[in-house]
Structure 1
Amino acid sequence: MEVARLRDGLAVRDSKEPRGPRLMFTPLECEAFAEGVKGGEFDLS
């Protein structure tokens, strides 16, 4: 997995498939995800 910080958010792609699909996340989406992890909203076991 590769993650790149961009001016308008984050980009994520599978490093084994560099020409494959990419996911883009805005700063607000990244913040909401981080807060969800901190708040225990996801089952990480």
Structure 2
Amino acid sequence: MSMSDQLMADNVEILKLAGYDLTVGDLFDTTLLEEVYAENPDLK
């Protein structure tokens, strides 16, 4: 499963409207996907 940078940012903005003080990094960790794609670029 993967989400675009824009979709992650949109989610954070909606949560901020609800009063949550969060960042994209607080909610999403894409390091595993980045590693997999770096090792297997044909998966993108």
Range class of TM-score, shorter chain? 0.3 to 0.5
Task: Answer 1 or 2: which has greater helix percent.
Answer: 2
Task: Answer 1 or 2: which has greater strand percent.
Answer: 1
Q: TM-score, normalised by structure 2?
A: 0.35
Q: TM-score, normalised by structure 1?
A: 0.35
